[in-house]
Amino acid sequence: MFGCLQVTRILRAVVCLLVVVQFAACSSLAYYAQAVDGHMLLMSKRKPIEQLLADERTGPRLIALLTRVQEMREFATQTLKLPENGSYRSYAAVEGEAVVWSLVAADALSVAPRQWCYPLIGCASYRGFFHQEAANKYASEMAAEGFDVAVEPVPAYSTLGWFDDPLPGSVLHWPEWQIAGLIFHELAHQQLYVAGDSAFNEAFANSVQRIGVERWLAQRDPDALPQWRQDVVRGQQVIALLMRSRERLRQLYAGTSSRAEKLLEKQLLFNDLRSDYLKLRGAWGGYSGYDRWFDAELNNAKLASVATYEQWAPLFDKLLQRAQGDMTRFYRDCETLAQLPIDQRRQRMFALIE
């Protein structure tokens, strides 16, 4: 079905995962085992989109969606200059809102996310689980140790080119522009990925996603552009609110107050954050798309998760402007940064923002 080259890629990726398991500590074997099992189960559910479109049993709604996905995939390569490969040329019929559950943790008095390091791929500020129960169990264990924790649904993930990633059924009911954004974001990870720098990777992919969706809508569905732009503005307002709260917390934790005083003030600041969001929402004319996020417990880990995706957004926006929208030049400038040692990279990034 996928050809000899695809079989070779699968075998290579499986060997890689098994090597990771072999060298992991005993306490981590269960984690890596669930990662291998969960990933291989997802891969086994893939069917080529071309095959599904030719199958008379495929429903009309799925046919319409997959036809559009084919257009998005070609747009990603032709217009956004993203990798030309087999990713998002297949579909995996999975149910639920997520294929993976991401756990983020932070110390009770820190806004920095905890890092987990893995063989071959470096360190990351989150830990993924294919079963929500396993993620919640691990989160409970970390919370018992005093960490702030957050478990969030992840509708899709990138294997960085090791596999031909499928479009999962978890996004079946999304608006088209959100599906396009997902494809552009995950392909961006295949375009450029820096081991051990989650903030760089996610901000880069978010930047590609934003410009990609805007260009996609301008070309294929211009009537949807005003609504999308309104959604972007709302998102930026929420992110600005969260980043301001994160900075206030960072200053609190760096201060000279006692631990008990800091913990009390921390709770007051999170109460203020929820109150500020309700005021912001009041100006949105009834839109409540962020209520679920704010209804859950607010803590350092949730803010750290957002910061991972948004901390360097101004930098990549600036690089894109400097490249005058030329994606090839933009990728080249980002690659130049990525090649620097992390300390030099951060210094250069701060300098570019300033």
Q: Is the pLDDT of residue 9 over 70?
A: no
- State the DSSP string of 24-36: S-GGGHHHHHHHH
10 Å Cβ neighbour count for 108?
17
Judge residue 201's burial from the number of C-beta atoms within 10 Å of its C-beta, 0-12 exposed, 13-18 middle, 19 or more buried: buried
Mean pLDDT of the chain: 88
Strand-strand pairing, 90-92 and 127-129: unpaired
Structure confidence by residue, pLDDT tens digits, 257-267: 999 999 999 99
10 Å Cβ neighbour count for 269?
15
What is the reported pLDDT for 119?
Answer: 66
**pTM of structure:** 0.85
CA distance 56 to 271: 54
10 Å Cβ neighbour count for 330?
23
Amino acid at 179: I
Structure confidence by residue, pLDDT tens digits, 135-163: 999 999 999 999 999 999 988 888 888 88
What is the reported pLDDT for 97?
Answer: 85
Task: Extract the runs of DSSP E, i.e. beta strands, from 119-179.
Answer: 122-124, 127-129, 148-154, 167-168
Q: Is 96 left (phi over 0), alpha (psi -120 to 50) or beta?
A: left
Q: Is the pLDDT of residue 52 over 90?
A: yes
Q: State mean pLDDT over 293-311.
A: 89
CA distances from 193 to 188, 200, 334, 338 (A): 8, 8, 10, 8
Q: State mean pLDDT over 264-280.
A: 97
For residue 341, list its beta bridge partners.
Answer: none
Q: Could you tell me if 105 and 113 are in contact, meaning their C-beta atoms sit under 8 angstroms apart? A: yes
Task: Extract the runs of DSSP E, i.e. beta strands, from the chain.
Answer: 46-48, 90-92, 100-106, 116-118, 122-124, 127-129, 148-154, 167-168
First to last CA, the chain: 51
What is the reported pLDDT for 121?
Answer: 63
